[in-house]
Amino acid sequence: MTKKGKKEFKRENCDTTRHKIPPRGERGAQNARAKRERQRERKTERERERERETETERDNNRVCYYLSIERERERETMTMMMSAASSHQQALSVTAIRRNNVRASTSSKNNLQCYHHRSKTTTTATTRTIVRASSSSSSSPTATEAKAASSDNEWKKLGQVCAVLGSQWGDEGKGKLVDILAREYEVVCRCQGGANAGHTIYDDDGKKYALHLVPSGILNKKALCVVGNGVVVHLPGMFEELDALEKVGVDCAGRMIVSDRAHLLFELHKEVDGLREAELSGNMIGTTKRGIGPAYASKATRNGIRVGDIKNMETFAEKLRALAADAGKRFDGFEYDVDAEIERYGKIRERILPFIADTVEIVNQAHTDKKKILVEGANATMLDLDFGTYPFVTSSNPSLGGVCSGLGLAPNKFETIIGVAKAYTTRVGSGPYPTELFGDLADDLRAIGYEYGTTTGRPRRIGWLDMVALNFASKINGFTHLNITKLDCLSELDEIKIGVAYKLQDGTVTTAFPASIEELEKVEVVYETLPGWKSDISGVRDWKDMPENAKKYVQRVEELSGGVECRFIGVGPGRDAIVIKP
């Protein structure tokens, strides 16, 4: 039989009801769809869960690793402290050796993790212990206790309602201050953002916790943690975070509530986030791809799903199908198993029900009952949807206006508003950054400060302190105090610059922050240069012990901020590593 005859025989004898042979182009499309389906099947929900568990376990192991090394370092330094106590000069020489080790580590670019451990652990643990040893002859236990009592009294002086807000581009160290203040406050709230916000905090034993959605007050057993209506909540991620905390001994039972008005973030939002970034190509925003923007978009277009909707699974399923269909129309490559997601949330439903509450009523009643309320800002003012470097911003309002709308708490109830600012600046993602540094200095500061995102692990961009941006944030929020963090990271610099104004293209010098990113990208920063203090301050706990040039730096920031008091100075990652300026 000829080839032609075989072909015709095949066509005549095939069961057309079972084996329809489509035209060549259509067959290619079907093959592509089938291939995508097979790829999706390979990525089962069980595999996703396993990946998340592995990631969490890896993070926990990393934390345990660094903690074990830190404890070993502390044991070493205890031995050194005993010998150093007998000789002040000996203590100084050991400190110098440690500082030289840090400088040597700086030049080793291929061992960044090792450098981080030396610079963070040695500078903030070892040297701190030595400094304490050298001053032990003049500082008795009674004096130390008096200082601690003085600090506690300082926290008690703050208002009944206190907001802690980021004043730069995020990652300023808000979590540490919130963690300290949470011991004095009975209600600790998150009001906006989602799991894109990463806060790293330490307990009294030096144990490290990386939080994303759970309020930092979770370490205070007496505090009620509130996730307000302005937050977008990914329930599986929230429970993973709570489970991880329980696993390391943090009791979370009955200590956290979630607003019934808060919007839910689904896997489809994460999928859309990635597709949207791919569309932008070279003009990517640089999001965390956690689905935050698309979740807020669903809220704004009024097809979002709120936490309270999960009480009725029938209407919940209808809304989720409609939301998925809408995304499918918008993006060609959108893939999402809506039925599997509905089934997943059906299982989550029983667990989330005890958390759901009318947080607006609860928070306002707490205020009426004279309870102290602490609000933990996420992200920062320079990433604010309205006031930040738009479009390179987050999808919510991290400024005071977002706090009020995200909790349902009136503006006149806020007595204390603390702006948190690094002694230098950092930024993650794309967007204009006037005081940005490059080269060895940026690399060294990034390593010393371990400037890598808590949520993404991305290296942060580094820059000098920008007073134009800081004052802009202060005007919007009405800061009553400033918390300057990571001042210790500047200790090795010969000189330190502060951006005090912008010179525009036409030669005009301004202290106003431009709205146009095109204009902002072209500004020339006007700097003031201050001398460095060239000595380790990680062990300083009293303002009078601060080097004179470090004091001058803080005082100059205070002057440039229009007199907003730089009250709290961070000199290390631990809870006690803070100096209160009188």
Q: What is the pLDDT of residues 242-266, one digit of tens each?
A: 999 999 889 888 899 999 999 999 9
Cα three-residue angle 278-283-287, rounded to 5 degrees: 65
pLDDT at 21: 43
* CATH (domain of 329): 1.10.300.10
340-382 residue pLDDT tens: 999 999 999 999 999 999 999 999 999 999 999 999 998 899 9
On whether residue 32 sits in a domain, the answer given is no
| Angle between helices 267-280 and 338-352 in degrees, nearest 10 | 130
On whether residue 5 sits in a domain, the answer given is no
Strands 425-427 and 461-463: antiparallel
At 527, phi and psi to the nearest 5? -110, 150
Cα separation of 340 and 333, whole Å?
A: 19
284 has pLDDT over 60: no
Counted domains in the chain: 3
Report which of residues 426 and 86 the model is more confident about.
426
pLDDT at 1: 54
**Together in a domain, 233 and 381:** yes
Contact 70, 63 (CB under 8 A): no
pLDDT at 329: 83
At 242, phi and psi to the nearest 5? -65, -40
Q: In the predicted model, what is the mean pLDDT of the chain?
A: 79
On whether residue 10 sits in a domain, the answer given is no
Burial grade of 558 (CB within 10 A; 0-12, 13-18, 19 or more):
middle
Residue 416's domain spans which residues? 150-260+358-580
* CATH (domain of 573): 3.90.170.10
Q: What is the mean pLDDT of residues 188-192?
A: 94
On whether residue 564 sits in a domain, the answer given is yes
Report which of residues 3 and 413 the model is more confident about.
413
**Together in a domain, 251 and 222:** yes
Boundary-marking domain end, from 106, 138, 170:
138
pLDDT at 286: 55
pLDDT at 65: 42
**Together in a domain, 223 and 79:** no
Cα separation of 368 and 500, whole Å?
A: 42
Contact 228, 406 (CB under 8 A): yes
516 has pLDDT over 70: yes
pLDDT at 107: 37
**Together in a domain, 564 and 502:** yes
pLDDT band at 200 (very low <50, low <70, confident <90, very high): confident
pLDDT at 207: 79
**Together in a domain, 74 and 130:** yes
**Together in a domain, 224 and 286:** no
68 has pLDDT over 80: no
pLDDT at 295: 93
Cα separation of 528 and 498, whole Å?
A: 5
Report which of residues 185 and 454 the model is more confident about.
185
240 has pLDDT over 60: yes
Contact 124, 107 (CB under 8 A): no
pLDDT at 331: 81
pLDDT at 454: 66
User: Which range among 315-329, 359-373, 453-467 shows the weakest confidence by mean pLDDT?
Assistant: 453-467
At 480 the three-state DSSP class reads: coil
On whether residue 31 sits in a domain, the answer given is no
On whether residue 16 sits in a domain, the answer given is no
With helix as H, strand as E and coil as C, how does 215-244 read?
CHHHHCCCCEEEECCCEEECHHHHHHHHHH
pLDDT band at 455 (very low <50, low <70, confident <90, very high): low
**Together in a domain, 448 and 561:** yes
Boundary-marking domain end, from 138, 167, 202:
138
90-148 residue pLDDT tens: 333 333 333 343 333 333 333 333 323 333 333 333 333 323 333 333 344 455 555 55
**Together in a domain, 372 and 400:** yes
**Together in a domain, 180 and 200:** yes
pLDDT at 117: 36
pLDDT at 404: 97
Boundary-marking domain end, from 353, 375, 408:
353
477-506 residue pLDDT tens: 999 999 999 999 999 999 999 999 999 999
pLDDT at 484: 97
pLDDT at 274: 80
| Angle between helices 45-84 and 235-247 in degrees, nearest 10 | 40
pLDDT at 52: 53
pLDDT at 380: 94
Catalytic residues: 171, 199
pLDDT at 573: 85
**Together in a domain, 368 and 321:** no
pLDDT band at 575 (very low <50, low <70, confident <90, very high): confident
Q: Find where tokens 């030096």 sit.
A: 206
Q: What is the mean pLDDT of residues 335-339?
A: 87
Cα separation of 488 and 90, whole Å?
A: 22
Contact 470, 561 (CB under 8 A): yes
pLDDT at 131: 31
Residues contacting 219, CB < 8 A, separation 6+ = 179, 182, 201, 203, 209, 250
Contact 485, 421 (CB under 8 A): yes
Cα separation of 114 and 96, whole Å?
A: 20
Contact 485, 423 (CB under 8 A): yes
pLDDT band at 288 (very low <50, low <70, confident <90, very high): low
Contact 434, 180 (CB under 8 A): no
Contact 485, 554 (CB under 8 A): no
**Together in a domain, 392 and 497:** yes
Closest CA relative to residue 489, chosen from 426, 522, 434, 445: 445
On whether residue 9 sits in a domain, the answer given is no
**Together in a domain, 386 and 521:** yes
414 has pLDDT over 60: yes
Cα separation of 83 and 55, whole Å?
A: 43
pLDDT at 499: 98
Contact 293, 274 (CB under 8 A): no
On whether residue 30 sits in a domain, the answer given is no
- In this prediction, what percent of the chain has a pLDDT beyond 70? 71
Q: Which amino acid is at 54?
A: T
pLDDT at 31: 56
